[in-house]
Amino acid sequence: MKKKDVIVVGSGAGGATVAKELAKSGFKVTVLEKGPTVKMKKAHEHYEIINTGVEISQTVCIGGTSAVTIGNAVRTCEKYLKKIGINLEEEFKEIENELSVQTLPDSHFGKGTTMLMDAAESLGFHMEKMPKFINPEKCEPCGKCAFGCSKNAKWTTEVFIEEAKQYGTIVIDNTPVTHILIENSKVTGVKCHNKIFRSDIVILSAGAIQTPRLLQKIGIRAGKNLFVDTFVTVGGIIKKIKFNKELMMNSVIKLDNIVIAPHFSGLLVEKLKDFKARKKDIIGLMVKIADESTGEVTPDEVIKFNTANDVELLAKGSAIAGAILTHAGVEPKTLVSTYARGAHPGGTAAIGDVVDKNLETEIKGLYVADASIFPEAPGAPPVLTILALAKRLGKHISSEYENS
Alpha-carbon span 253 to 236, nearest angstrom: 19
72 lines the binding site for ligand FAD (CB under 6 A): yes
223 lines the binding site for ligand FAD (CB under 6 A): no
Q: Which stretch binds ligand FAD (CB under 6 A): 202-210, 293-301, 302-310, 327-335?
A: 202-210
Interacting residue with ligand FAD among 20, 22, 33, 134 (CB under 6 A): 33
64 lines the binding site for ligand FAD (CB under 6 A): yes
Which helix or strand (DSSP H or E) is residue 31 part of? strand 28-32
For 336-390, strand residue ranges (E) read: 336-337, 341-342, 366-368
Taking the complex as a whole, the smallest distance from the CB of residue 315 to ligand FAD amounts, in Å, to 23
Taking the complex as a whole, the smallest distance from the CB of residue 192 to ligand FAD amounts, in Å, to 7
Interacting residue with ligand FAD among 30, 58, 135, 251 (CB under 6 A): 58
382 lines the binding site for ligand FAD (CB under 6 A): yes
Alpha-carbon span 301 to 53, nearest angstrom: 12
360, 351 in Cβ contact below 8 A? no
Interacting residue with ligand FAD among 112, 207, 347, 394 (CB under 6 A): 207
Interacting residue with ligand FAD among 21, 40, 66, 338 (CB under 6 A): 66
CB atoms within 10 A of CB 106: 7
Q: What is the dihedral of CA 382, 354, 177, 61, to 10 degrees?
A: -10
Are β-strands 282-289 and 231-237 bridged in parallel, bridged antiparallel, or unpaired? antiparallel
Q: Which amino acid type is present at position 2?
A: K
343 lines the binding site for ligand FAD (CB under 6 A): yes
96 lines the binding site for ligand FAD (CB under 6 A): no
CA–CA distances in Å: residue 25 to residues 2, 9, 33, 71, 385:
12, 19, 22, 28, 21
Per-residue interface string for the shown chain with ligand FAD, residues 138-177, x marking contact by CB under 6 A: --------x-----------------------------xx
Interacting residue with ligand FAD among 7, 8, 14, 359 (CB under 6 A): 14
282, 143 in Cβ contact below 8 A? no
Q: Which stretch binds ligand FAD (CB under 6 A): 80-88, 219-227, 279-287, 375-383?
A: 375-383
23 lines the binding site for ligand FAD (CB under 6 A): no
Q: Which is nearer to ligand FAD, 237 or 389 (CB)?
A: 389
Which helix or strand (DSSP H or E) is residue 192 part of? strand 186-192
Alpha-carbon span 42 to 60, nearest angstrom: 12
Task: Give me the residues that bind ligand FAD (CB under 6 A), please.
Answer: 9-15, 32-35, 57-58, 60, 64-66, 68-72, 146, 176-177, 205-208, 210, 343-344, 370-371, 381-383, 386
